[in-house]
């Protein structure tokens, strides 16, 4: 794809930086607005022209409703653990809410007015969670616990320059404002950045998303062995804004991830939309600006998992080698596998044979793993519809968005 690197970077710079998860994370009972209401008759366009259309989009204001559904194929015990995963900062911390995007369907209202003002309000159940970025402040409020999370945005007012954009400096600390829930636009940016020689890029059938005519950009792996069948990005035919992102499995069935708008309006949100005052009596937790998992990962690990970091629950894989461990990247593109050597020489077999191990841990292991063997010895494959991992009995982990057979072959060739 000619000029893909230059163009995708431009796309990432100009796409609307809206705080919407929907991304972060498929569409079984998806609302009618997500369906293709016929195929609108649009002027013909090439894949390169469509990418350039995304890159040229200068839309900075919008409001609407979005929905994200994630179906990673996790067993119930694993989904429960992810859905209830608590992280530092209290229940109002954005990381706590983002952990829930690894499974299920989530609906929210969104609004954006440039790079320094965004708001997302989750509408799941009777309780609400709101995340507001307004200038120098980032607020999270959980109505169920009546807790507030607050963090200062050190780059407020600096636009892309302060956030590592064209004139930005690398290595700066990324705080919550840079880790807000992922939008269809942000999913699209990551997919375009990951596209390269191993990707077939084309234009699919036109569609209607949230009542707007859209082209569909289709990215398909050229290599065998990937769990990804294709990535489909619906792009507004008028303004070039990505309206929906779908990640489809190579095995067919429901999308693994379907993130998109059900309603959208590109007018400026009302002036008071981004105002927030902590409710009287609410517990307020000040954020410490911790780095996101994987921020300090090695160069090779980052390269190997660039395409996976856009998915909820997998942004920490790049740093999975841990202190003292060793990570080796095998292959490239969609078939990339990371071999992580813990250096302990211990694997899951020890847990299986440990009489003192908690029953819950053993149940979790049994629910996830399938025993395999080869010239590398024995191990267990932990499977989802997207990412699979082979944990060998000598403490090595082979992980990637590839099939079980691809992991076994990698282990045999790189034992």
List, for residues 203-239, the tens digit of each pLDDT value. 999 999 999 999 999 999 998 999 999 999 999 999 9
Number of other residues whose CB lies within 10 A of the CB of residue 296:
11
User: Left (φ > 0), alpha (ψ -120 to 50) or beta: where does 64 sit?
Assistant: left
Is the predicted pLDDT of residue 357 greater than 70, yes or no?
no
Checking if the pLDDT of 410 tops 90, the result is yes
- Binned at pLDDT 50, 70 and 90, residue 166 comes out as very low
- Residue-level pLDDT at 383: 86
Q: Is the pLDDT of residue 137 over 80?
A: yes
**Would you call 223 helix, strand, or coil by DSSP?**
coil
Whether this prediction's pTM lies above 0.85 is answered by no
The pLDDT value recorded for residue 9 is: 32
**pLDDT-above-70 percentage for the chain:** 62
- Using CA atoms, how far residue 185 sits from 131, 166, 246, 325, in Å, is 18, 19, 12, 35
DSSP secondary structure string for all residues of 339-364? EEE-SS---HHHHHH-TTS-HHHHHH
Token duo for residue 283: 């517990």
On the question of pLDDT at 364 being above 70, the answer is: no
Please give the pLDDT value at position 184.
Answer: 72
Residue of 214, 215, 194 lying closest to 204 (CA atoms): 215
Q: Any idea which of 104-108, 268-272, 316-320 has the lowest mean pLDDT? A: 316-320
Task: Give yes or no for residue 181 having a pLDDT over 60.
Answer: no
The contacts of residue 148 (CB under 8 Å, 6+ apart) are 92, 139, 140, 141, 142, 278, 279, 282, 283, 284, 285
- pLDDT of the residue at 288: 60
pLDDT at residue 326 tops 50: yes
**Short-list 40, 391, 34, CA closest to 244:** 34
Let me know: does 130 contact 138? Beta carbons within 8 Å. Answer: no
299 pLDDT exceeds 90? no
- How high is the pLDDT of residue 75? 60
Residue pLDDT, tens place only, 51-105: 989 988 889 999 999 999 999 886 654 444 444 443 344 467 777 777 777 778 9
Lowest mean pLDDT among 82-91, 181-190, 308-317, 348-357: 308-317
Does position 29 have pLDDT exceeding 70, yes or no?
Answer: no
Compute the average pLDDT of residues 22-35.
Answer: 27
Say whether pLDDT at 249 is over 80.
yes
Highest mean pLDDT among 154-163, 335-344, 358-367: 335-344
Average pLDDT score, the chain = 73
pLDDT band at 363 (very low <50, low <70, confident <90, very high): low
């Amino acid at each position: 794809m000619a000029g893909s690197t230059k163009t995708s970077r431009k796309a990432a710079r100009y796409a609307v930086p809206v705080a919407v998860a929907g991304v972060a994370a498929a569409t079984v009972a998806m609302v009618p607005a997500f369906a293709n209401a016929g195929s609108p008759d649009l002027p013909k366009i090439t894949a390169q022209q469509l990418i350039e259309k995304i890159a040229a989009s200068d839309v900075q204001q919008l409001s609407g409703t979005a929905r994200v559904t994630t179906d990673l194929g996790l067993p119930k015990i694993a989904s429960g653990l992810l859905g209830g995963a608590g992280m530092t900062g209290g229940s109002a911390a954005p990381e706590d809410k983002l952990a829930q995007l690894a499974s299920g369907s989530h609906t929210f209202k969104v609004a954006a007015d440039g790079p320094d003002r965004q708001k997302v309000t989750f509408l799941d159940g009777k309780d609400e969670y709101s995340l507001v970025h307004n200038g120098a402040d980032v607020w999270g409020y959980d109505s169920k616990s009546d807790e507030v999370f607050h963090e200062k945005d050190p780059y407020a007012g600096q636009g892309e320059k302060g956030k590592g954009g064209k004139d930005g400096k690398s290595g700066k600390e990324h705080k919550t404002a840079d880790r807000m829930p992922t939008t269809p636009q942000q999913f699209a940016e990551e997919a375009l950045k990951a596209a390269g020689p191993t990707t077939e890029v084309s234009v699919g059938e036109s569609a209607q998303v949230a009542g707007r005519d859209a082209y569909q950009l289709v990215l398909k792996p050229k290599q065998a062995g990937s769990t990804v069948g294709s990535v489909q990005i619906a792009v507004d035919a008028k303004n070039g804004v990505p309206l929906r992102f779908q990640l489809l499995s190579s095995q067919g069935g429901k999308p693994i991830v379907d993130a998109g708008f059900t309603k959208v309006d590109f007018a400026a949100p009302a002036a008071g939309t981004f105002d927030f005052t902590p409710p009287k009596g609410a517990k307020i937790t000040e954020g410490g600006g911790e780095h996101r998992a994987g921020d300090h990962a090695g160069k090779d690990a980052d390269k190997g998992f660039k395409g996976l970091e856009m998915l909820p629950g997998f942004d920490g894989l790049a740093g999975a080698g841990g202190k003292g461990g060793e990570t080796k990247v095998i292959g490239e593109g969609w078939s990339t596998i990371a071999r992580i050597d813990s250096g302990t020489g211990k694997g899951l077999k020890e847990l299986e044979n440990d009489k003192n191990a908690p029953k819950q841990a053993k149940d979790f292991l049994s629910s996830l793993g399938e025993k395999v063997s080869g010239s590398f010895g024995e191990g267990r494959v932990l499977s989802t519809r997207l990412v699979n991992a082979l944990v060998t009995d000598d403490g090595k982990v082979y992980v990637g968005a590839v099939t079980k057979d691809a992991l076994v072959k990698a282990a045999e060739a790189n034992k």
